[in-house]
Amino acid sequence: ETIQIQTASKKYPVFVGEGVRKELGTFLSTHFTNLTRVLIMTDETVEKLHLEKLLVVLKEWNPVIFTAPSGEKAKTFEVYYDALSAALENRLDRKSVILSFGGGAVGDLSGFVAASFMRGIPFIQIPTTILAHDSAVGGKVAINHPLGKNMIGAFHQPEAVFYDLELLKTLPIQEVRSGFAEVIKHALIADSDFYLWLKTNIHDLNSLPLSQLSDSLVKGIRIKNEFVSQDERETGVRVFLNLGHTLGHAIESEMGYGNFTHGEAVMIGMIYALKLSNKLLGMNFQLSEFVDWVKSLGYETDIPGQLSFERLISKMKQDKKSVGESIRFVLLDSVGQPRLEEISESVLLNELKSF
């Protein structure tokens, strides 16, 4: 299946399916004239598991390979610097292309390398995680600063996304959960039919049939695209994609990255946002049903006991969306109808205490 992503600055295809990586060679020869160099950026885990499969389809391009540490460790200044050095040493230029081969971390790192190397060169996303259905679409690329995640970055759209579902088979279950939380998020903010479909059909993330996985990802990508295409630089509706992320980010950072996957933390944040929506907006959401469902999928649904509510609140205040003593939250009027609300610290604290 091919999805066309339309943003104000660019239009590009997302190819989704088993084996789509095999089309990459043809795309490179038809899309680029005088392609000088191909740099594959990946991480240690993906290199071991899958790099060979990519190399066989790219033989004629004789690609250079840069391998970052796996996970969030890819998004540091040091790794970014090393990647730029590799690009310079191998004489990449404006007629070269970077291939991002990995999850969201590699995608963010390599996208930022592509955005900043010689003021910007093209790149292609070849995502290998479920979460990357989210991160590979939208053009946000970044690395982390010790004082904040994703603080140094750019908007840089890829030339194409090749989402080869065959590569997802090796994902550990907590990474499947992480990515699938974003699928559920996309349903909640945009499409009640899709939400009902998920709730009716998805019962076991350990053995997702390919067709369900594919449908979920295609739907998720289309929804992400709807929000992004209306608002490439996050001045309006794009903010709704942050459902569950205000508390989710706070939990992630308080737990230490790596102890809780992003999506697992966001799931708890979504439950919190849904509670607030029921209470403050009179949303009529069957929360206990939802919680039972996601529990059965293996999600943690409580705030980890060791975390301090005060610290979570102060973390939430550092969020890019906060204003003064209130914190801006994405809530829902109903499934598919998101809305941004300013909520005071005291209301938020009470609701954490009664979580």
Q: Which residues are catalytic?
A: 119, 140, 182, 224, 234, 238, 242, 245, 249, 262
CB of 161 to ligand NAD, least distance (A): 12
Residue from 46, 83, 92, 335 that binds ligand NAD (CB under 6 A)?
A: 46
CB of 29 to ligand NAD, least distance (A): 26
Local structure of 115: helix, strand or coil: helix
Residue from 38, 96, 102, 217 that binds ligand NAD (CB under 6 A)?
A: 102
Residue from 178, 214, 216, 225 that binds ligand NAD (CB under 6 A)?
A: 178
Is the separation of the CB atoms in 348 and 316 below 8 Å? yes
Residue from 140, 185, 219, 249 that binds ligand NAD (CB under 6 A)?
A: 140
Local structure of 143: helix, strand or coil: strand
Residue from 20, 105, 113, 283 that binds ligand NAD (CB under 6 A)?
A: 105
Specify the pairing of strand 337-344 against strand 326-334.
Answer: antiparallel
Q: DSSP characters for 165-211?
A: GGGGGG--HHHHHHHHHHHHHHHHHH-HHHHHHHHHH---GGG--HH
Instruction: Give the residue with the Cβ less far from ligand NAD, 53 or 279.
Output: 53
Q: Which stretch binds ligand NAD (CB under 6 A): 24-32, 40-48, 303-311, 341-349?
A: 40-48
The residues in 118-137 that bind ligand NAD, with binding defined as CB under 6 A, are 128-129, 131-132, 134-135
Q: What residues contact residue 175 under an 8 Å CB cut-off, 6+ apart?
A: 103, 129, 130, 131, 261
CB of 54 to ligand NAD, least distance (A): 12
Q: Any contact of residue 158 with ligand NAD (CB under 6 A)? A: no
Residue with tokens 């709807």: 226
d(CA 251, CA 245): 9
d(CA 213, CA 221): 12
Count residues near ligand NAD (CB under 6 A): 30
The residues in 213-272 that bind ligand NAD, with binding defined as CB under 6 A, are 262
d(CA 210, CA 253): 33
State the first-to-last Cα distance of the chain, in angstroms, to the nearest integer. Answer: 41
CB of 140 to ligand NAD, least distance (A): 4
* Binding positions for ligand NAD, rule: CB under 6 A: 43, 45-46, 49, 70-72, 75, 102-106, 108, 128-129, 131-132, 134-135, 138, 140, 150, 167-168, 170-171, 175, 178, 262
